[in-house]
Amino acid sequence: MRVRTEAKRDAIVEAASEVFLELGFEGASMAQIATRVGGSKATLYGYFSSKEELFVEVMQGVAKLYFEPIFAALQKDHDDLRQALQQFGERTLAVICLETSIQARRAIIAQSGRSDIGLRFYEGGAKKGVAELADFLARRIERGELRSCNPQVAAHHLMALLDSETVTPLLLGVKKKLTAMFVRRAVARALDTFFQGHAPRSEVSSD
């Protein structure tokens, strides 16, 4: 009986990350990853039941590396709510609008109808991100800086607004690359709409 080790698992994930980056999800195979890590397909399947599971593991590792500092910064006590969300939006989009991130999302969407890869990716990544954002918004609702509402729904609304001018056009190939200035202005426009719906009623009516 072969003994599984964390070191071996980490080596497999690292090798898979390289292969997926070079060949994409469709082009990569478990055999190629096994060759890269210096083992057999049987060894890989001892740790991961499918290529989809391994791909999600790689994506979640990358997301953790990039997003933990972003959410850590968001959870600090900011005086200016809009400025905090502007920084959060710009930093988040800087990651999810990378070409490699867009390619990964396309691969996940393409496979979602044939496997549970989309659910796995959501449960291990996006869902946690929305929960972090909702926690931040809940504290601002308690302070009276936002209208009383379901913070989870508000977090989904904000993420959808951030995606609308950036991630969606990139996914569809409508845009190829976004400048930092475009992203900054897109985030500002998304926040304009977000605050129209979620700012305290007295602030909205006084505009």
Please check the confidence at residue 185 and state whether its pLDDT lies above 60. Answer: yes
- The pLDDT value recorded for residue 30 is 93
Please check the confidence at residue 205 and state whether its pLDDT lies above 60. Answer: no
Contact in structure between 133 and 74 (CB atoms under 8 Å): yes
CA-wise closest residue to 155 among 87, 89, 64: 89
Q: Which CATH number is 55-205's, of 1.10.287.3510, 1.10.357.10, 3.40.50.720, 3.20.20.140? A: 1.10.357.10
For 32-90, the pLDDT digits (tens) are: 999 999 888 998 999 988 888 898 888 888 888 888 899 889 888 778 999 999 999 99
Distances (CA, A) of 130 to 43, 92, 114, 135: 35, 12, 25, 9
Q: What percent of the chain has pLDDT over 90?
A: 52
- The pLDDT value recorded for residue 203 is 59
- Binned at pLDDT 50, 70 and 90, residue 188 comes out as very high
Give the start-to-end residue ranges of the domains of the chain.
1-48, 55-205
CA distance 44 to 112: 22
Distant-in-sequence, close-in-space partners of 130: CB < 8 Å, separation ≥ 6: 152, 155, 156, 159
Please state which architecture CATH assigns to domain 1-48.
Orthogonal Bundle (1.10)
- The pLDDT value recorded for residue 3 is 56
Contact in structure between 60 and 19 (CB atoms under 8 Å): no
Contact in structure between 149 and 141 (CB atoms under 8 Å): yes
First-to-last alpha carbon distance for the chain, in angstroms, is 70
Please check the confidence at residue 155 and state whether its pLDDT lies above 60. Answer: yes
- For residues 2-21, give the mean pLDDT: 85
Distances (CA, A) of 113 to 26, 119, 133, 162: 15, 10, 28, 25
